[in-house]
Amino acid sequence: MGKHPTDRGQSGTQRRVLTAGHGVPIGLAVAGAHRHACTLARETIERIAVERPDATPEAPQGMGLDKGEGDDEVREWLDACGFTAPIRARGEEAQALTQAAECKARRWVVERTQSWMNRFRRVLLRWDKQVRNYLGFLHLACAYITYRQSGLLG
């Protein structure tokens, strides 16, 4: 496969963030820009930094994913881990929100966390050649976001 034509053949970085319900980052993965979303879904979930409680039928753990991550292999792996995964396309979520007043949007939480991470210039523009250096700055940004969301700053 050659270079991707829409980005003028430049190489790039893709970062995947897994967040809790209020936008606190709990999992992070970094890869090349041309990797498929299905391959990074498992890696992102494996890198959850906190210990997960066991899922029970009374308290299932949901996982909101994009349509690009809706591969059968990803769904089987999520079921084995105890996640329920309602994978919706962009239009389906907006349609459900207009029909049910008690339904809450979930997609924007991750996008908001990505926006918070983009406020750190070192994270937004990757100058580091080594992935471990870039990943270190991503973890620093996630730590600051988590600290800010904890309410300890006032």
Q: What is the pLDDT of residues 59-79, one digit of tens each?
A: 777 776 666 666 777 778 777
pTM for the predicted model, two decimal places: 0.72
Say what percent of the chain tops pLDDT 90: 11
| 25 vs 107: which has the higher pLDDT | 25
Q: Is the pLDDT of residue 94 over 70?
A: no
Q: What is the pLDDT of residue 78?
A: 78
Residue 89 confidence (pLDDT) = 61
Q: Which residue has the higher pLDDT, 100 or 4?
A: 100
pLDDT of residue 110: 82
- Residue 66 is which amino acid? D
Average pLDDT over residues 85-111: 66
2: pLDDT confidence band, cut at 50, 70 and 90?
A: very low
pLDDT (average), residues 82-88: 70
Categorize the per-residue pLDDT at 1 as very low, low, confident or very high, splitting at 50, 70 and 90.
very low
> So what's the pLDDT on residue 133?
92
Domain covering 11-148 in this structure, CATH number: 3.30.420
